[in-house]
Protein backbone atom coordinates (compact mmCIF):
# COMPACT_ATOMS: atom_id res chain seq x y z
CA UNK A 1 0.00 0.00 0.00
CA UNK A 2 2.87 2.38 0.78
CA UNK A 3 4.20 1.86 -2.76
CA UNK A 4 0.79 2.66 -4.29
CA UNK A 5 0.56 5.87 -2.29
CA UNK A 6 3.76 7.08 -3.92
CA UNK A 7 2.42 6.43 -7.44
CA UNK A 8 0.62 9.47 -8.96
CA UNK A 9 -3.15 9.02 -9.29
CA UNK A 10 -2.96 9.49 -13.05
CA UNK A 11 -0.71 6.46 -13.54
CA UNK A 12 -2.87 4.32 -11.27
CA UNK A 13 -5.90 5.19 -13.41
CA UNK A 14 -3.91 4.50 -16.58
CA UNK A 15 -2.85 1.06 -15.35
CA UNK A 16 -6.35 0.21 -14.14
CA UNK A 17 -8.07 1.46 -17.31
CA UNK A 18 -5.83 -0.30 -19.79
CA UNK A 19 -5.79 -3.38 -17.55
CA UNK A 20 -9.58 -3.49 -17.91
CA UNK A 21 -9.08 -3.08 -21.66
CA UNK A 22 -6.94 -6.25 -21.71
CA UNK A 23 -9.45 -8.24 -19.66
CA UNK A 24 -12.41 -7.09 -21.77
CA UNK A 25 -10.75 -7.93 -25.08
CA UNK A 26 -9.56 -11.28 -23.77
CA UNK A 27 -13.06 -12.11 -22.53
CA UNK A 28 -14.72 -11.30 -25.87
CA UNK A 29 -11.99 -13.09 -27.80
CA UNK A 30 -12.76 -16.31 -25.89
CA UNK A 31 -16.51 -15.76 -26.05
CA UNK A 32 -16.67 -15.18 -29.82
CA UNK A 33 -13.92 -17.63 -30.72
CA UNK A 34 -11.51 -14.96 -31.94
CA UNK A 35 -8.64 -16.23 -29.86
CA UNK A 36 -5.72 -17.45 -32.00
CA UNK A 37 -1.98 -17.74 -31.70
CA UNK A 38 -1.49 -14.12 -32.80
CA UNK A 39 -4.09 -12.67 -30.41
CA UNK A 40 -1.55 -11.91 -27.67
CA UNK A 41 0.71 -10.02 -30.07
CA UNK A 42 -2.19 -8.01 -31.49
CA UNK A 43 -3.36 -7.18 -27.97
CA UNK A 44 0.15 -6.04 -27.11
CA UNK A 45 0.12 -3.66 -30.11
CA UNK A 46 -3.30 -2.29 -29.12
CA UNK A 47 -2.21 -1.87 -25.52
CA UNK A 48 1.11 -0.22 -26.34
CA UNK A 49 -0.42 2.27 -28.77
CA UNK A 50 -3.36 3.03 -26.49
CA UNK A 51 -1.24 3.53 -23.37
CA UNK A 52 1.41 5.62 -25.13
CA UNK A 53 -0.82 7.78 -27.33
CA UNK A 54 -3.38 8.43 -24.58
CA UNK A 55 -0.51 9.83 -22.53
CA UNK A 56 0.59 11.97 -25.49
CA UNK A 57 -3.04 13.10 -25.85
CA UNK A 58 -3.02 14.17 -22.20
CA UNK A 59 0.13 16.22 -22.85
CA UNK A 60 -1.59 17.92 -25.81
CA UNK A 61 -4.60 18.73 -23.60
CA UNK A 62 -2.29 20.35 -21.03
CA UNK A 63 -0.26 22.17 -23.68
CA UNK A 64 -3.36 23.65 -25.33
CA UNK A 65 -4.90 24.69 -21.97
CA UNK A 66 -8.28 23.33 -23.06
CA UNK A 67 -9.35 22.66 -19.47
CA UNK A 68 -9.37 26.36 -18.59
CA UNK A 69 -11.13 27.60 -21.75
CA UNK A 70 -14.86 28.37 -22.10
CA UNK A 71 -17.21 25.36 -22.22
CA UNK A 72 -17.90 25.57 -25.98
CA UNK A 73 -14.19 25.63 -26.76
CA UNK A 74 -13.63 22.72 -24.37
CA UNK A 75 -16.27 20.63 -26.18
CA UNK A 76 -14.84 21.48 -29.60
CA UNK A 77 -11.29 20.76 -28.43
CA UNK A 78 -12.43 17.52 -26.78
CA UNK A 79 -14.00 16.22 -30.01
CA UNK A 80 -11.18 17.43 -32.24
CA UNK A 81 -8.39 15.88 -30.13
CA UNK A 82 -10.31 12.60 -29.79
CA UNK A 83 -10.82 12.33 -33.57
CA UNK A 84 -7.21 13.31 -34.28
CA UNK A 85 -5.72 10.70 -31.98
CA UNK A 86 -8.23 8.08 -33.08
CA UNK A 87 -6.95 8.52 -36.65
CA UNK A 88 -3.34 8.36 -35.44
CA UNK A 89 -4.03 5.17 -33.48
CA UNK A 90 -5.96 3.64 -36.40
CA UNK A 91 -3.21 4.31 -38.93
CA UNK A 92 -0.53 3.10 -36.49
CA UNK A 93 -2.41 -0.14 -35.73
CA UNK A 94 -2.98 -0.91 -39.40
CA UNK A 95 0.67 -0.29 -40.20
CA UNK A 96 2.13 -2.28 -37.29
CA UNK A 97 -0.24 -5.26 -37.63
CA UNK A 98 0.43 -5.50 -41.35
CA UNK A 99 4.17 -4.96 -40.92
CA UNK A 100 4.47 -7.76 -38.35
CA UNK A 101 1.95 -9.93 -40.20
CA UNK A 102 -0.43 -10.13 -37.22
CA UNK A 103 -3.73 -9.66 -39.10
CA UNK A 104 -6.22 -12.49 -39.14
CA UNK A 105 -6.87 -11.77 -42.84
CA UNK A 106 -4.33 -9.88 -44.92
CA UNK A 107 -5.85 -6.90 -46.81
CA UNK A 108 -6.13 -7.32 -50.58
CA UNK A 109 -5.36 -3.99 -52.13
CA UNK A 110 -5.68 -0.37 -51.12
CA UNK A 111 -9.44 -0.47 -50.54
CA UNK A 112 -9.20 -3.29 -47.99
CA UNK A 113 -6.37 -1.50 -46.18
CA UNK A 114 -8.36 1.75 -46.08
CA UNK A 115 -11.45 0.00 -44.67
CA UNK A 116 -9.29 -1.76 -42.10
CA UNK A 117 -7.66 1.52 -41.04
CA UNK A 118 -11.06 3.23 -40.72
CA UNK A 119 -12.34 0.31 -38.62
CA UNK A 120 -9.35 0.59 -36.29
CA UNK A 121 -9.80 4.38 -36.13
CA UNK A 122 -13.50 4.02 -35.21
CA UNK A 123 -12.74 1.45 -32.50
CA UNK A 124 -9.99 3.70 -31.18
CA UNK A 125 -12.35 6.68 -31.16
CA UNK A 126 -14.70 4.78 -28.83
CA UNK A 127 -11.91 3.92 -26.40
CA UNK A 128 -10.35 7.39 -26.50
CA UNK A 129 -13.76 9.04 -26.17
CA UNK A 130 -14.36 7.07 -22.95
CA UNK A 131 -10.83 7.90 -21.78
CA UNK A 132 -11.35 11.61 -22.41
CA UNK A 133 -14.77 11.62 -20.73
CA UNK A 134 -13.30 10.12 -17.58
CA UNK A 135 -10.34 12.51 -17.71
CA UNK A 136 -12.50 15.61 -18.18
CA UNK A 137 -15.01 14.57 -15.51
CA UNK A 138 -12.19 13.95 -13.04
CA UNK A 139 -10.68 17.39 -13.66
CA UNK A 140 -14.08 19.07 -13.57
CA UNK A 141 -14.75 17.59 -10.13
CA UNK A 142 -11.23 18.46 -8.93
CA UNK A 143 -11.60 22.04 -10.20
CA UNK A 144 -14.89 22.49 -8.36
CA UNK A 145 -13.41 21.01 -5.20
CA UNK A 146 -10.43 23.38 -5.33
CA UNK A 147 -12.73 26.34 -5.95
CA UNK A 148 -14.81 25.39 -2.93
CA UNK A 149 -11.69 25.07 -0.77
CA UNK A 150 -10.38 28.43 -2.03
CA UNK A 151 -13.75 30.04 -1.35
CA UNK A 152 -13.70 28.74 2.21
CA UNK A 153 -10.14 29.98 2.68
CA UNK A 154 -11.07 33.39 1.32
CA UNK A 155 -14.09 33.59 3.62
CA UNK A 156 -11.89 32.68 6.59
CA UNK A 157 -9.35 35.32 5.57
CA UNK A 158 -12.09 37.94 5.24
CA UNK A 159 -13.30 37.10 8.76
CA UNK A 160 -9.73 37.50 9.98
CA UNK A 161 -9.57 40.87 8.25
CA UNK A 162 -12.77 41.94 10.01
CA UNK A 163 -11.03 41.49 13.36
CA UNK A 164 -7.61 42.82 12.40
CA UNK A 165 -8.27 45.52 9.83
CA UNK A 166 -8.31 48.42 12.32
CA UNK A 167 -5.20 47.17 14.16
CA UNK A 168 -3.29 46.32 11.00
CA UNK A 169 -4.34 48.87 8.41
CA UNK A 170 -5.27 51.80 10.61
CA UNK A 171 -3.28 51.13 13.78
CA UNK A 172 -3.94 53.02 17.03
CA UNK A 173 -0.63 54.92 16.72
CA UNK A 174 -1.73 56.41 13.42
CA UNK A 175 -5.11 57.44 14.85
CA UNK A 176 -3.41 58.95 17.89
CA UNK A 177 -0.94 60.91 15.72
CA UNK A 178 -3.70 62.03 13.36
CA UNK A 179 -5.87 63.31 16.21
CA UNK A 180 -2.92 65.18 17.72
CA UNK A 181 -2.24 66.77 14.34
CA UNK A 182 -5.89 67.80 14.00
CA UNK A 183 -5.87 69.27 17.52
CA UNK A 184 -2.82 71.35 16.66
CA UNK A 185 -4.55 72.65 13.53
CA UNK A 186 -7.81 73.67 15.22
CA UNK A 187 -6.48 77.09 16.27
CA UNK A 188 -3.80 77.47 13.63
CA UNK A 189 -5.80 76.43 10.55
CA UNK A 190 -9.44 75.52 11.27
CA UNK A 191 -10.23 74.87 7.62
CA UNK A 192 -7.40 72.35 7.28
CA UNK A 193 -8.48 70.77 10.59
CA UNK A 194 -11.99 70.18 9.21
CA UNK A 195 -10.51 68.68 6.05
CA UNK A 196 -8.26 66.42 8.13
CA UNK A 197 -11.24 65.16 10.13
CA UNK A 198 -13.04 64.33 6.88
CA UNK A 199 -9.95 62.49 5.60
CA UNK A 200 -9.68 60.48 8.80
CA UNK A 201 -13.40 59.67 8.65
CA UNK A 202 -13.05 58.43 5.06
CA UNK A 203 -10.15 56.17 6.03
CA UNK A 204 -11.95 54.67 9.01
CA UNK A 205 -15.14 54.11 7.01
CA UNK A 206 -13.23 52.38 4.21
CA UNK A 207 -11.34 50.24 6.71
CA UNK A 208 -14.56 49.13 8.41
CA UNK A 209 -16.08 48.18 5.04
CA UNK A 210 -13.00 46.36 3.76
CA UNK A 211 -14.50 42.92 4.42
CA UNK A 212 -17.65 43.55 2.36
CA UNK A 213 -16.06 43.35 -1.09
CA UNK A 214 -13.40 41.16 -2.63
CA UNK A 215 -12.28 43.98 -4.92
CA UNK A 216 -12.89 47.71 -5.37
CA UNK A 217 -12.02 50.10 -8.22
CA UNK A 218 -8.44 51.29 -7.97
CA UNK A 219 -9.62 54.92 -8.03
CA UNK A 220 -11.52 54.42 -4.75
CA UNK A 221 -8.51 52.75 -3.15
CA UNK A 222 -6.23 55.54 -4.38
CA UNK A 223 -8.47 58.23 -2.92
CA UNK A 224 -8.29 56.55 0.51
CA UNK A 225 -4.50 56.39 0.26
CA UNK A 226 -4.37 60.08 -0.67
CA UNK A 227 -6.38 60.90 2.48
CA UNK A 228 -4.00 58.72 4.50
CA UNK A 229 -0.90 60.39 3.08
CA UNK A 230 -2.42 63.84 3.56
CA UNK A 231 -2.80 63.11 7.27
CA UNK A 232 0.72 61.69 7.50
CA UNK A 233 2.04 64.78 5.71
CA UNK A 234 0.68 66.93 8.55
CA UNK A 235 2.85 64.92 10.96
CA UNK A 236 6.01 64.63 8.87
CA UNK A 237 5.68 68.01 7.08
CA UNK A 238 8.68 68.56 4.77
CA UNK A 239 10.18 65.20 5.73
CA UNK A 240 7.55 63.44 3.59
CA UNK A 241 7.45 63.94 -0.17
CA UNK A 242 4.68 62.24 -2.14
CA UNK A 243 4.74 61.45 -5.85
CA UNK A 244 2.10 59.86 -8.06
CA UNK A 245 2.63 58.27 -11.45
CA UNK A 246 -0.79 56.90 -12.30
CA UNK A 247 -2.13 55.94 -15.72
CA UNK A 248 -5.75 57.12 -15.74
CA UNK A 249 -6.77 54.00 -17.68
CA UNK A 250 -5.95 51.91 -14.59
CA UNK A 251 -8.36 53.77 -12.31
CA UNK A 252 -11.27 51.42 -13.03
CA UNK A 253 -9.20 48.26 -12.51
CA UNK A 254 -10.33 46.11 -9.55
CA UNK A 255 -7.92 45.70 -6.63
CA UNK A 256 -8.31 44.09 -3.19
CA UNK A 257 -9.57 46.72 -0.71
CA UNK A 258 -6.98 48.27 1.63
CA UNK A 259 -4.14 46.45 -0.15
CA UNK A 260 -2.51 49.62 -1.45
CA UNK A 261 -3.05 51.32 1.91
CA UNK A 262 -1.24 48.42 3.62
CA UNK A 263 1.80 48.83 1.34
CA UNK A 264 1.86 52.61 1.82
CA UNK A 265 1.57 52.25 5.60
CA UNK A 266 4.54 49.86 5.55
CA UNK A 267 6.47 52.40 3.45
CA UNK A 268 5.82 55.10 6.07
CA UNK A 269 6.41 52.90 9.10
CA UNK A 270 9.53 51.04 7.96
CA UNK A 271 10.92 53.62 5.54
CA UNK A 272 10.20 57.32 6.03
CA UNK A 273 9.88 57.25 9.83
CA UNK A 274 13.33 55.60 10.09
CA UNK A 275 15.05 58.35 8.06
CA UNK A 276 16.24 61.45 9.95
CA UNK A 277 15.76 63.60 6.86
CA UNK A 278 12.60 61.77 5.76
CA UNK A 279 12.15 60.76 2.16
CA UNK A 280 9.78 60.09 -0.71
CA UNK A 281 6.82 57.80 -1.16
CA UNK A 282 5.98 57.19 -4.81
CA UNK A 283 2.89 55.37 -6.07
CA UNK A 284 2.95 53.99 -9.62
CA UNK A 285 0.03 52.40 -11.46
CA UNK A 286 0.38 51.30 -15.07
CA UNK A 287 -0.26 48.51 -17.54
CA UNK A 288 2.76 46.36 -18.30
CA UNK A 289 3.04 43.00 -20.07
CA UNK A 290 -0.73 42.40 -19.95
CA UNK A 291 -0.79 43.10 -16.19
CA UNK A 292 -1.93 45.95 -13.99
CA UNK A 293 1.31 46.83 -12.24
CA UNK A 294 0.93 48.57 -8.89
CA UNK A 295 4.15 49.83 -7.27
CA UNK A 296 4.90 51.59 -3.99
CA UNK A 297 8.43 52.97 -3.65
CA UNK A 298 9.88 54.63 -0.57
CA UNK A 299 13.18 55.97 0.65
CA UNK A 300 14.87 53.49 2.98
CA UNK A 301 16.46 50.08 3.18
CA UNK A 302 15.21 46.54 3.68
CA UNK A 303 17.75 45.43 6.31
CA UNK A 304 15.25 42.91 7.62
CA UNK A 305 12.86 45.71 8.59
CA UNK A 306 10.10 44.31 6.43
CA UNK A 307 8.96 41.14 8.13
CA UNK A 308 7.54 38.72 5.57
CA UNK A 309 5.67 37.01 8.39
CA UNK A 310 3.93 40.22 9.42
CA UNK A 311 0.19 40.43 8.93
CA UNK A 312 0.32 43.21 6.33
CA UNK A 313 2.60 41.57 3.77
CA UNK A 314 1.33 38.06 4.50
CA UNK A 315 -2.30 39.09 4.05
CA UNK A 316 -1.37 40.78 0.76
CA UNK A 317 0.23 37.58 -0.55
CA UNK A 318 -2.64 35.38 0.67
CA UNK A 319 -5.36 37.59 -0.77
CA UNK A 320 -3.66 37.79 -4.16
CA UNK A 321 -3.24 34.01 -4.23
CA UNK A 322 -6.85 33.30 -3.31
CA UNK A 323 -8.38 35.95 -5.56
CA UNK A 324 -6.23 35.59 -8.67
CA UNK A 325 -4.12 32.43 -8.21
CA UNK A 326 -0.98 32.35 -10.35
CA UNK A 327 -2.22 35.32 -12.41
CA UNK A 328 -1.06 37.73 -9.68
CA UNK A 329 2.32 38.25 -8.08
CA UNK A 330 3.78 40.22 -5.15
CA UNK A 331 7.41 41.09 -4.54
CA UNK A 332 9.45 43.49 -2.42
CA UNK A 333 13.05 44.45 -3.05
CA UNK A 334 15.67 47.16 -2.61
CA UNK A 335 16.47 49.33 -5.65
CA UNK A 336 18.92 52.12 -6.46
CA UNK A 337 20.73 51.63 -3.15
CA UNK A 338 18.37 53.69 -1.00
CA UNK A 339 14.85 52.81 -2.14
CA UNK A 340 12.49 49.95 -1.31
CA UNK A 341 10.00 48.84 -3.93
CA UNK A 342 6.87 46.79 -3.25
CA UNK A 343 5.30 45.59 -6.49
CA UNK A 344 1.94 43.93 -7.14
CA UNK A 345 1.10 42.48 -10.55
CA UNK A 346 -2.62 41.95 -11.12
CA UNK A 347 -4.46 40.49 -14.12
CA UNK A 348 -6.21 43.06 -16.27
CA UNK A 349 -9.92 42.61 -15.58
CA UNK A 350 -13.20 44.28 -16.42
CA UNK A 351 -14.20 47.14 -14.18
CA UNK A 352 -16.18 46.20 -11.11
Question: Nearest Cα to 64, choosing from 44, 85, 48?
Answer: 85
Question: Would the pTM of this model clear 0.75, i.e. be above it?
Answer: no
The region of weakest confidence among 39-43, 60-64, 105-109 is 105-109
C-alpha angle 25/30/36, rounded to 5°?
A: 90
Separation CA 301–CA 306 (nearest Å): 9
Which residues is 80 bridged to in the sheet? Answer: none
pLDDT score, position 160:
62
Per-residue confidence band for 173, with pLDDT thresholds at 50, 70 and 90: low
DSSP 85-103: HHHHHHHHHHHHHHHTT--
pLDDT score, position 270:
83
Separation CA 182–CA 195 (nearest Å): 9
Q: Span 90-96, mean pLDDT? A: 88
Separation CA 31–CA 309 (nearest Å): 67
Question: Residues 103-148: pLDDT tens digits?
Answer: 767 676 677 778 888 888 898 899 899 999 988 888 888 888 888 8
End-to-end alpha carbon distance in the chain: 50
CATH of domain 169-347: 3.30.565.10
Tell me if 8 sits within 8 A of 55, measured CB to CB. Answer: no
> How far, rounded to the nearest angstrom, does the alpha carbon of residue 193 sit from its chain's CA centroid?
45
Out of 8-22, 161-175, 235-249, give the one with best mean pLDDT.
235-249
Check residue 254 and report its DSSP letter. E
Tell me if 305 sits within 8 A of 274, measured CB to CB. Answer: yes
Separation CA 201–CA 195 (nearest Å): 10
Residues of the chain with CATH 3.30.565.10: 169-347
pLDDT greater at residue 151 or residue 290: 290
Q: Span 21-29, mean pLDDT? A: 83
Amino acid sequence: MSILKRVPTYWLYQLFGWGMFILTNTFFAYTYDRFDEMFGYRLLVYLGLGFFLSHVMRSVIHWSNILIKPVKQQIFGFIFITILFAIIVGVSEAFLLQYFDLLRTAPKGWNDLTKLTLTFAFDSFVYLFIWNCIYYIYHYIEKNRRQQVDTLKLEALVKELELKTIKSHINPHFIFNALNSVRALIDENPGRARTAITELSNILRSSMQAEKSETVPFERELNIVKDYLALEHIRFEDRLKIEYEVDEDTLDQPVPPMMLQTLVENAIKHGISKQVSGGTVKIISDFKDNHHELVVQNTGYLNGAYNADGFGLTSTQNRLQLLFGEKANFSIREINGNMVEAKVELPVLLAV
